[in-house]
Amino acid sequence: MSRAWKSPTLLAQCQLMASAAKLNSHIPLMANILIIYSTTDGHTVEICRRLIQVLEPSGHQVKLIDVNDASGLDLMPFDKIVIGASIRYGKHSPQIVKFISQHERLLDSKPNAFFSVNVVARKPEKNQPATNPYLKKFLKKIAWKPKELAVFAGKIDYPRYNPFDRFMIRLIMWITKGPTDPTTVIEFTDWQKVEDFGRLIGKM
C-alpha cells in the first residue's frame, strides 16, 4: 500500500464517504422518466405537467410525449414509463390501446404506471382504480398490468365543445346530476391527488 493510503486523514475521509453512501442508500436515484399521454381538450396534458412539477425538482428527468408522436420512439433508454389517457364517450383513445399492445413487454420490464382521466371520477365512489368503471373495463381489455394506477376527475368546458358534444355532455351531466349550464367551465381534478401520484412515480 502506498503512503497516501496509510494517511489517517485519507482513511477518515473514506470512512466518512462510505457512511454517507450508506445513509443515502434509501434515497431513490434520479430517473429518466417517459410520460406518454392522450388528450382531446388538453386536460390530461395539464395533469402530466403537474406530475412534472413534482418530479423535476426532485432531480428526475422527464420527457413528455403525445401518443400520436410516439411511433418509432425508442423506449429502452427510459427508467420508468407512465401512460395517461382521458375518456371520451366511454373509451380511452385507440392510439393508447395500440401503443400499449405494441410495447407491452417493454412496459412490463420497467417500473410503470397508468392513469385515466374522466368526469365520472368526480364521484367519490368512482374515483379509485378499483371503483372507476372505465379503468376497470380498460384493464380487462389490455394484457399489460400497470404496476401503479390512478384515476383523476377531469374537466368540463362547455363553451369549448362543438354543439353535438355540448348537447351530449349536458345530457350525461343531467342524468348523473352534474352541471348543465352551457357556460360552465369546471375542473373536478383533485390536484393534491395528482401531486401524490407524482411522488409515487418518483419512488417507484
Ligand X SMILES: Cc1cc2nc3c(=O)[nH]c(=O)nc-3n(C[C@H](O)[C@H](O)[C@H](O)COP(=O)(O)O)c2cc1C
Query: Could you list the residues that contact ligand X (CB under 6 A)?
Result: 39-44, 86-90, 117-120, 154-156, 161, 165, 169
Q: How far is the CB of 64 from ligand X (least distance, A)?
A: 13
Q: How many angstroms from the chain centroid is the CA of residue 82? A: 5
Residue closer to ligand X by CB (options 103, 126) is 126
Q: Which H or E element spans position 114? A: strand 112-118
Residue nearest ligand X, Cβ-based: 154
Contacts (Cβ under 8 Å, ≥6 apart) of 115:
47, 82, 83, 84, 85, 149, 150, 151, 152, 197
Residue closer to ligand X by CB (options 5, 89) is 89
Q: How far is the CB of 112 from ligand X (least distance, A)?
A: 20
Residue closer to ligand X by CB (options 49, 110) is 49
Query: Strand 185-187 vs strand 32-38: parallel, antiparallel, or unpaired?
Result: unpaired
Q: How far is the CB of 152 from ligand X (least distance, A)?
A: 8
Q: How far is the CB of 118 from ligand X (least distance, A)?
A: 3
| Amino acid letter, residue 8 | P
At 168, list the grid cell. 351530449
DSSP state of 32: E
Q: How far is the CB of 15 from ligand X (least distance, A)?
A: 53
Q: How far is the CB of 166 from ligand X (least distance, A)?
A: 8
Residue closer to ligand X by CB (options 111, 129) is 129
Going from the C-alpha of 29 to that of each of 40, 89, 90, 191, 192, the distances in angstroms are 34, 40, 38, 25, 24
DSSP H stretches of helix in 1-149: 3-6, 8-24, 43-55, 94-108, 133-141
Residue closer to ligand X by CB (options 144, 161) is 161
Residue closer to ligand X by CB (options 103, 155) is 155
